[in-house]
Structure 1
């Protein structure tokens, strides 16, 4: 299909929890194609449906050359202690902050055939799974920052040329 434009912080779709996908039809197949085309751009680790303006529970990922998607994902397991990792977001361009994330995450959902799909990983994959599920729950990574860091982040957002 096509790469879709990324919605920017301030767009209400980014703060709205998504709807479960109940029927897999041509509309959903087209959404998955658009998510995959949108995540293949260099430097992108994931794209949630909300980031392309769609309020459905789906995301694509591109981690170390492994590209895929998942429908109706839910985090079912995390392991380890929260660690502060450098994180950015396509919807909050050019800003990076140390964000608490678990070093391991496991997500369950379905594929386009309705089969159970399990994604799991450590490092960047764990971070991407948590980040994209947050988007689908109506959160952005700034929501996870401690109060002083969030205050600074919001100052930088307000002073950015894109806000």
Structure 2
């Protein structure tokens, strides 16, 4: 990583993502168009996405479509490759453990490496729109700090605990080609895929032909 980018990340400001959540989410969603969800096996989900270099109207339209797609699928977070777009962007509309709603978008996200004293693992049931109808217990740190950029290219930082921390980690993983089932044991992964095969998605998905 270049020194310039490091300096920009260090100067990132923590955003306030808990205000006017309903209005902001509705505005994104109403401008956007829901797209079908890609599922495990689709190549775009299994490789690192490309960095966003242009912070323009096209990026804005992508974020709008992602919010529309997330709402249609009844999710709490969505990465761009989950609607087939090879770009490092994720959005979220996720409550924390206190029931406080967080809404936002992160471009080119990077998770901070936590020091050992902050790596308290919390095991919880986890699912994914790209592995529909399947769930598994997975241990993740109960705190996460993500740095990236907003839709205008400004450096930002977001921190979360509990369920919201899990969301931030889950969505960042997606953009580096990793699904939550890739963190499971072989037996647990096989069971999750069996659940998926036996279930019927409640939203439109892209078939893996």
Work out whether the TM-score is over 0.5: yes
Return the match for 2:102 from 66, 69, 76: 66
Further displaced range: 8-17 or 132-141 = 8-17
Structure 1 residue 8, shift from structure 2 partner: 1.4
Secondary structure of the residue that 1:92 maps to in structure 2? coil
| Correspondence 1:54 to 2:85 | yes
| Correspondence 1:148 to 2:187 | yes
Q: Deviations over 1:77-134 (max 9, x none)?
A: 4433323210000111111100121100000000122111111101111000110011
Contiguous gaps of at least 5 residues in structure 2: 1-31, 96-100, 202-206
Separation in structure 2 between the aligned mates of residue 36 and residue 151 of structure 1, nearest angstrom: 30
* 2:19 alignment counterpart: none
Contact residue 134 and residue 193 of structure 2 kept, 8 A = no
Return the match for 1:16 from 41, 44, 47: 47
Secondary structure of the residue that 2:36 maps to in structure 1? coil
Task: Please give the TM-score of this superposition, normalised by the length of structure 1.
Answer: 0.90
Structure 1 residue 42, shift from structure 2 partner: 7.3
Which structure has the bigger radius of gyration? Answer: 2
Return the match for 1:108 from 139, 147, 154: 147
Cα RMSD, aligned residues only: 1.9
Structure 1 residue 161, shift from structure 2 partner: 5.3
Q: Which has the higher helix share?
A: 2
Contact residue 106 and residue 150 of structure 2 kept, 8 A = yes
Question: How many residues in Structure 1 have an aligned counterpart in Structure 2?
Answer: 163
Q: Quick one: structure 1 residues 101 and 20, their matched pair in 2 at CA, closer, same or farther if it must change by over 3 Å?
A: same
Separation in structure 1 between the aligned mates of residue 94 and residue 192 of structure 2, nearest angstrom: 26
Return the match for 1:132 from 168, 171, 179: 171
Q: Quick one: structure 1 residues 34 and 157, their matched pair in 2 at CA, closer, same or farther if it must change by over 3 Å?
A: same
Moved over 4 A (4+): 158-163
Task: Please give the TM-score of this superposition, normalised by the length of structure 2.
Answer: 0.72
* 1:28 alignment counterpart: 59
Structure 1 residue 41, shift from structure 2 partner: 4.4
Contact residue 145 and residue 160 of structure 2 kept, 8 A = yes
Contact residue 121 and residue 141 of structure 2 kept, 8 A = yes
Contiguous gaps of at least 5 residues in structure 1: none
